[in-house]
Structure 1
Amino acid sequence: MSDTLSFTISDMTCGHCANTITSAVLAAYPSAKVDIDLSTKRVAIENAGDRSAVASVIAAEGYSPVAVD
Structure 2
Amino acid sequence: MSQTTTLRVEDMSCAHCVGTVRKALEEALPGAEIAVDLDTHRVSFTGDRARAEAAIREAGYTPEPV
TM-score, normalization by structure 2:
0.89
Equivalent residue, structure 2, for 1:10 = 10
Deviations 1:10-60 (A, max 9, x none): 0000111011011111111111111111111011112x21x2221111000
Aligned length: 65
Q: Secondary structure at 1:32's aligned position in 2?
A: coil
1:62 is aligned to 60
Matches of 1:38 and 1:67 in 2, distance apart?
16
Give the residue type in structure 2 aligned to 1:64.
Answer: T
C-alpha RMSD over aligned residues: 1.2
Identity of aligned pairs, percent?
35
User: Residue 28 of structure 2 contacts residue 51 of structure 2 at CA under 8 Å; is this kept in 1?
Assistant: no
**Alignment TM-score, normalising by the size of structure 1:** 0.86
Structure 1 unaligned spans of 5+: none
Q: In the alignment, residue 10 of structure 2 is paired with which amino acid?
A: S
* Aligned counterpart, 1:33: 33
- Taking the aligned partners of 2:50 and 2:30, their CA distance within structure 1 comes to 17
